[in-house]
A and B are shown apart, each in its own frame.
Chain A
Amino acid sequence: MNITRLTAMEIREKVINKEISSKEVVKAHLNRIKELDEELNAFITITEEEALKAAERVDEKIKNGESLGKLAGIPIGVKDNIITKNVRTTCGSKMLENYIPPYDATVIERIKAEDGIILGKTNLDEFAGSYSTESSYFGVTKNPIDTERVPGGSSGGSTAAVKAHEVALALGSDTGGSNRQPASYCGIVGIKPTYGLVSRYGLVPLANSLDVVGTFGRNVKDATLLLEVIRGYDEKDPTSMEIEGSSYLEKLKEGIKGMKIALPREYMNMDMDSRVKGKVMETVKLFEILGGHVEEVSLPHVEHYWATYYLIVVSEISSNMARYDGVGYGYRTEDYDSLDELYIKSRTEGFGEEIKRSILAGTYILGSKEGREYYEKAFRVRTLIKEDFDKVFEKYDVILTPTTPNLPFKIGDSIKNPFEMYGSGIFNIPANLAGLCAISVPCGYVDGLPVGLQIIGDRFKEANILKAAYALEEELALGGENNGL
């Protein structure tokens, strides 16, 4: 049996049925990491010892006939901006190179409580602030499908690790597409839950009003399983919501007969790679064959998404990054003669170039008269964008869009043309601005590179997007399987 080829669901079943031990599962995946990760660089930290201990505890529970959690024995990667107790959490930054948190994020507590096994911390753009995983202090992560290309970002370490079968599941975070764009680029499933469904306690903030923790798997069921474990109200996160809801897993099989599906006219008319558009349109037709009713709708503010998002995200980034001052924790410069010099040198030496540009931009917006006016304007346009979606969801269950307008680009290309890279999240950012749920699901390959379909749902209507994604996956039988490694 090739253990690393199993789905997360299969791993759990086989561990519980004693076909394989949890320790065997962990060892097989650790071997896979040792074999591949020198080239891929998906992980910043590998927690071999802790993982083997956790596996022993699961095997012990099985031996004693104790009840097992929903993630029993499943190897999981965690994006390195999610706090893990006693395990270094770097955010891909020199600033936090040696930061060892004294507590677990709520999502980590929940994974551990369900017997999931964390194999390590995955690479990301510095503080999750870009779209290619090239801005990490710990080096570039490569796309397992084509190692000359980026895995997307910011959660590129997690998506590369899942795609390469180094882990079965992973956690990411999504501020403006950081779960969906890399899921699309790596040909796996990535879920961005509704803002408030999953606790953000212990997620190092990039932009608090947009950030969410999300999940990855090689198929819809697996990614849904992890979401089911981490969701739910947490009193430590004042923006988390108490939402009653039945199991998503039980709803997956309901199918999409009669589902009302919207296709935004303005999105499909945008300038994009014709191969991506072609593949997505083929997939849209499949939804009709499966019993869905597809109709064109209007989402008119698309040309203002990027400016609105940018104004909000860099403002929140600049506020959040103010906490890194070299005093309480994080990087401190060696030599300084005044307090100001301590701050300036620690921050100048500790932050990377891209995050510095966001801090400067955010400070301009919050600190200048002109910037402030546009900042206020952005939040009003955000209201209009949300209202566009509210209107569509009055009549429709889900919205279909390409996840990205382009295919994974070559490593180094984004430095030459940053705006093209920022544009790769254009279809993703409205879900963050309006707090909606969305999923990226593989819909096929063109010229050997994966294309993702984004399915957007109304707030807290995860069941709809998951059902639609599952129905598609059943039909395509892709299951996120790769033609790369």
Chain B
Amino acid sequence: MISKEEILQLAGMCKLKLSDEEIEIFGAMFSNVLEQVKGLDMVNTEGIKPLYFLNSANKSLREDVAGDSLDREEVLKNAPEEEYGYFKLKKVMD
């Protein structure tokens, strides 16, 4: 089970605001998920190495050679607001 307080704390970490309905739906679903996840306790993994990434063996890094990269002006076209080549935000005091 996951409590409403735990979900609200999670939402804060994720920078999300949830409605009461969303909290309820997530709580019910995730409590069910946690039950299923507990099934992994049955698997003996003693001495087994974790597989985080495939293809990590035999990989060499490329030479660090400077090359073309994306144009600053092009990239900034997708910014909601920009000025003088920077992302622009409203004045906020934190």
A428-483 contacts to B, CB under 8 A, are: 434-435, 459
Q: How far is the CA of A353 from the CA of B29 in the complex (A)?
A: 13
A367-426 contacts to B, CB under 8 A, are: 367, 374, 376-384, 386, 418-419
* Contact of B17 with A by CB under 8 A: yes
B22-40 contacts to A, CB under 8 A, are: 22, 25-26, 29-30, 32-33, 36-37, 39-40
Given known pairs A328-B78, A329-B78, the reply for A382 and B43 (CB within 8 Å) is no
Contact B92 A342 (CB under 8 A): yes
Given known pairs A364-B30, A379-B51, the reply for A339 and B92 (CB within 8 Å) is yes
Q: Min CB distance, A195 to chain B, in Å?
A: 5
Nearest-neighbor residue (CB-CB) of A349 within chain B? B17
Q: Min CB distance, A22 to chain B, in Å?
A: 29
A227-249 contacts to B, CB under 8 A, are: 235, 238-239, 241
Contact B30 A382 (CB under 8 A): no
Nearest-neighbor residue (CB-CB) of B80 within chain A? A332
Contact A381 B62 (CB under 8 A): no
B58-94 contacts to A, CB under 8 A, are: 59, 61-62, 70-71, 74-75, 77-81, 87, 89-90, 92-94
Q: How far is the CA of A330 from the CA of B10 in the complex (A)?
A: 23
Contact B75 A239 (CB under 8 A): no
Q: How far is the CA of A394 from the CA of B70 in the complex (A)?
A: 45
Q: How large is the interface on A (under 10, 10 to 19, 20 to 34, 35 or more residues)?
A: 35 or more
Contact A329 B79 (CB under 8 A): yes
* Contact of A344 with B by CB under 8 A: yes
Contact B87 A327 (CB under 8 A): yes
Note all chain B residues with C-beta closer than 8 A to A418: 29
Contact B40 A360 (CB under 8 A): no
Nearest-neighbor residue (CB-CB) of A385 within chain B? B51
Q: Which of A10-18, A175-183, A260-268, A304-312 contacts B (4 or more CB under 8 A)?
A: A304-312
Q: Which of A98-106, A135-143, A250-258 contacts B (4 or more CB under 8 A)?
A: A98-106
Which of the listed residues B18, B49, B80 has the most CB atoms from chain A within 10 Å of its own CB? B80
Note all chain B residues with C-beta closer than 8 A to A90: none
* Contact of A351 with B by CB under 8 A: yes
Q: How far is the CA of A266 from the CA of B29 in the complex (A)?
A: 27
A315-368 contacts to B, CB under 8 A, are: 318, 325-332, 336-345, 347-348, 351, 353, 356-357, 359-361, 363-364, 367
Note all chain A residues with C-beta closer than 8 A to B50: 376, 379-380, 382-383
Q: Min CB distance, A97 to chain B, in Å?
A: 12
Note all chain B residues with C-beta closer than 8 A to A459: 54
Contact B43 A327 (CB under 8 A): no
Note all chain A residues with C-beta closer than 8 A to B71: 102
Contact B40 A364 (CB under 8 A): no
* Contact of A209 with B by CB under 8 A: yes
Given known pairs A301-B43, A339-B92, the reply for A367 and B36 (CB within 8 Å) is no
Since A344-B15, A357-B30, A380-B49 are in contact, a sample of 20 more A-B pairs with Cβ atoms closer than 8 Å, ordered by chain A residue number, is A209-B53, A238-B61, A239-B53, A311-B37, A326-B80, A327-B87, A329-B78, A336-B92, A338-B94, A339-B89, A342-B89, A348-B17, A353-B22, A359-B14, A364-B10, A376-B50, A382-B50, A382-B51, A384-B43, A386-B51
The 6 closest A-B pairs by CB, nearest first: A379-B50, A380-B45, A329-B78, A332-B80, A435-B54, A102-B74
